[in-house]
Amino acid sequence: MKKLFALIIFTLVSFYSYSQAQMTDSLKEVLDKNEGKLNALDERVLINETDLSKLNKLKVSGYVQAQWFMYDKDHITVNEPTNSFLIRRARVKFTYEALDGVKFVVQPDFSTGNLSLKDAYAVVNIPKLKGWSIWAGQFNRTNYEVEYSSSQREVLERSRVIRALYPGEREIGAKLEYKGTKVPLLLQLMAMNGNFTGLQAVDYDSKKDLMGRLVYSFKLPSAGIGIDLGPNFYYGHTGIKYNTFISDENGKLDSTTYKAGDYLPKQWVGGEIQIFADILGGMSVKGEYVQGMNSSSSTSNQSSSASIATKRTDPSKVRNFKGYYVYLIKNVGPKNQVIFKYDYYDPNTSLSGDAAKGDVNWKTYTLAWQYYLNDNIRISMQYEMPKYETNASRPADYRDLTGAYGNTLGIRVQAKF
């Protein structure tokens, strides 16, 4: 009896042990499978985190400017429009900060009929030199009104002298920049092709142009005033390829002083000032003066086979010039701004009542108002009154540098993101 009882107990224990072993193996198999799934999930999470960290380094911004112009009907010829809608700018800016102190920027413009690349550059902060950075690529020239974004500017367009000296605003080159932290100083030195029009990818002469700008900022806390001021310069050249006919500042043709391969001077100096005052809700006064010698190349420079008659009627030009602009900006409450602007540009200071209509000087008066609906929407209205120098050869419907006729009313709605 005892032996039978022991056998039954042994059998039950053996069966229980076998069952437990089977359950342990099954549980281990399930855990192994789940662990594999968890590891795969961890890998996917790590991949997603890596992708998200890259996206966090990318900033997308931009703006669209839709506007309407109405032109002075007294300066409109037959069949010319008196008003027009247009998309002035439609830009998207991509800024990618790959590493601390390393940034890449690309900004295309999608304006109607004007798909173009505005910016494409890299910025690298110089290690161990705090405040110093190097820029390379296509970006704004080193000038206050040029660098002042079109999405922030108080009037619809830049001053006439700035548009004439820096067409297209951008250039291809390299820039060394210093932004002081302890000392409120901005220093910019730029080397560039000097002939960029937004079309060619490489320079068409060997010399490079130089620009420099120095701005010092200081405050008068007791008066609630901040002032930025400093000098700037441009030192460059215009190459002569084939057409050696040159029109001097008096309009006289000369084909013997220069030969193919020579360079015409393109050099000027200037100064800027911006005054910001916390008075009566806030106001500012901004201005710049520039003078020097500018030159432009003949379009027949690109063709050695052009006839003598063509070369004589399309010479390169050398002119002494001067120009300046002044803004008076007043805040009215938190959402409104009123602006008065005056700018002056004389492309040829050597002649008064210039015989060549392209050399007449311009005085432009602008009255403007801006309303900030919110942080993203701004409504602007301005009335521009250009006054040009009279001479016998200027026709009654003579256009200004932008192609507009006489006084112009402009209304713009800007959406920014």
Residues ≥6 apart with Cβ < 8 Å to 108: 91, 92, 115, 116, 117, 118
Q: From CA 94, how far away is CA 60, in angstroms rounded?
A: 5
**Number of neighbouring beta carbons within 10 Å of residue 175:** 22
Task: Measure Cα distances from 10 to 5, 16, 24, 252 in Å.
Answer: 9, 10, 21, 125
Helix (H, G, I), strand (E, B) or coil at 179: strand
Q: From CA 153, how far away is CA 144, in angstroms rounded?
A: 11
Residue 133 forms beta bridges with which residues?
A: 125, 177
pLDDT digits (tens, 9 = 90+) for 108-142: 999 877 788 999 999 999 998 999 999 999 999 99
Q: From CA 300, how far away is CA 321, in angstroms rounded?
A: 24
**Number of neighbouring beta carbons within 10 Å of residue 270:** 22
Longest C-alpha distance within the chain, in Å?
142
The Cα angle at residue 78 between residues 75 and 83, in degrees rounded to 5: 60
Give the per-residue pLDDT at 30: 55
Residues ≥6 apart with Cβ < 8 Å to 153: 145
pLDDT digits (tens, 9 = 90+) for 171-186: 999 999 999 988 999 9
DSSP secondary structure of 101-170? TEEEEEEEEEETTEEEEEEEEEEEEPTTSTTEEEEEEEEE-S-HHHHS-TTT-SSSS--HHHHHHSTTSE
| Tokens found for residue 74 | 């007294």
Percent of the chain at pLDDT above 70?
Answer: 79
| Tokens found for residue 286 | 């901004």
CB 358 within 8 A of CB 347: yes
| Fold for the domain defined by 57-416 | Porin (2.40.160)
Q: From CA 385, how far away is CA 406, in angstroms rounded?
A: 7
Q: From CA 84, how far away is CA 329, in angstroms rounded?
A: 28
Higher pLDDT, 396 or 67: 67
Mean pLDDT of 408-416: 96
Q: Which residue has the tokens 């996206």?
A: 55
Mapping DSSP onto H, E and C, the string for 222-260 reads: HHCEEEEEEEEEEEEEEECCCCCCEECCCCCEECCCCCC
Asked if pLDDT for residue 357 goes beyond 60, the answer is no
Asked if pLDDT for residue 43 goes beyond 80, the answer is no
- Dihedral sign from CA coordinates of 192, 194, 198, 203: negative
- Dihedral sign from CA coordinates of 121, 123, 124, 129: positive
| Tokens found for residue 19 | 């069952």
User: What are the phi and psi torsion angles at 375 (to 5°)?
Assistant: -70, -15
Give the per-residue pLDDT at 27: 57
pLDDT digits (tens, 9 = 90+) for 273-321: 999 999 888 999 999 999 999 998 888 777 777 787 778 888 989 999 9
pTM for the full predicted model: 0.83
CB 111 within 8 A of CB 87: yes
pLDDT digits (tens, 9 = 90+) for 13-26: 454 554 555 555 56
Mean pLDDT of 398-414: 73
Most confident of 74-83, 155-164, 343-352, 405-414: 155-164
Give the per-residue pLDDT at 356: 55
List the single range of 255-269, 330-344, 352-366, 389-403 with lowest mean pLDDT.
389-403
Higher pLDDT, 396 or 86: 86
Residues ≥6 apart with Cβ < 8 Å to 299: 314
Residues ≥6 apart with Cβ < 8 Å to 380: 155, 156, 368, 369, 370, 371, 410, 411, 412, 413, 414
Asked if pLDDT for residue 363 goes beyond 80, the answer is yes
Spell out the long-range contacts of 295-299 with Cβ–Cβ below 8 A and sequence spacing 24 or more: 295/237, 295/238, 295/264, 295/265, 295/266, 295/319, 296/238, 297/195, 297/238, 297/239, 297/240, 297/241, 297/264, 298/243, 298/245
Residues ≥6 apart with Cβ < 8 Å to 259: 240, 244
Give the per-residue pLDDT at 103: 96
Domain boundaries, the chain: 1-56, 57-416
Give the per-residue pLDDT at 396: 47
Asked if pLDDT for residue 146 goes beyond 50, the answer is yes
Mean pLDDT of 376-400: 74
